[in-house]
Amino acid sequence: MKLLHCGDVVGKAGRRAVLEHIPNLRRRLDLDFVIVNGENAARGFGITAKICKSFYDAGVDVITTGNHVWAQRDIVNHIDGDPRLLRPLNYPPATPGRGANTYEATGGRKVKVIHPMGRLFMEPLDDPFAAVEAELANHRLGTTVDCVVVDIHAEATSEKMAIGHAFDGRVSMVVGTHTHVPTADARILPGGTAYQTDLGMCGDYDSVIGMKKEAAVARFVKKVTDERLSPAEGDATLCGVYLETDDASGLATRVAPIRLGGHLAEQWPL
């Protein structure tokens, strides 16, 4: 199976990158499944039903989110009816939406996407390790599902790495989102699980993690700020990882970063 997972989409620039590149990437890489983290897609905070539809129309199969999932209020009433939009798995049980689901990829193969959120320097949620463990209790890689992807939305690199090692050999890939900077550690762990600490963002890197530089810098150098953060709108880079899995085991056979356009050096997975 061939899969693409793109990092946090930030604002209009990030949306343009997704809508421009995903259709071509599906064809050029012969992709079976595409995941995009969309939690910053709407003016830098949250996502809307309209944006979700535009991503689906462009060839995105599943959208993950994170701590800004509820920033656009219309999503609260939308998310229960959209099984392709995931909120963090380890929110309390009564929270709208779902944090994991199983989807059909090319050829009828089944892909399970699990979306926990970290707790270090983040909201005090339920245990993400236990939440992922519960999801895997009824789904065995290579038997009931053909691929399992874990998008761990977290601040701390240590927590993301711990999730990767904790589930090595039991999922196809663990990738981190949230910090918006692509890490240089894409690899296959000893048990066969692909891993990268952070995918980076789909957004304008002439910025402070996707936000306009002036207002972001002002927040560090003076106590009173007179401008709210808003997304940078220049040329965007699409950042993500490309994954290939073994059809029998579901484990990774290849993982490689991808970066296209914008201000970062291009990285092509083939």
Q: State residue 139 phi and psi, 5-degree precision.
A: -140, 115
Q: Smallest Cα–Cα separation from 257: which of 213, 209, 197, 216?
A: 197
Question: β-strands 201-202, 8-9: how paired?
Answer: parallel
- Please answer whether residues 196 and 241 qualify as being in contact, where contact means their C-beta atoms are separated by less than 8 angstroms: yes
Q: Please tell me the distance from the alpha carbon of residue 15 to that of residue 238, in angstroms, as a whole number.
A: 9
Helix and strand numbers (H, E) in the chain are 6, 13
Q: Smallest Cα–Cα separation from 172: which of 89, 97, 110?
A: 110
Q: State residue 16 phi and psi, 5-degree precision.
A: -60, -40
Q: Where are the beta strands (DSSP E) in 94-193?
A: 100-104, 110-114, 147-153, 173-177, 187-188
What string of DSSP letters covers 22-71?
HHHHHHHTT-SEEEEE-TBTTTTS---HHHHHHHHHHT--EEE--TTTTS
- Please answer whether residues 201 and 15 qualify as being in contact, where contact means their C-beta atoms are separated by less than 8 angstroms: no
**Which residues does the annotation mark as catalytic?**
68
- Please answer whether residues 6 and 40 qualify as being in contact, where contact means their C-beta atoms are separated by less than 8 angstroms: no
Question: β-strands 110-114, 187-188: how paired?
Answer: unpaired
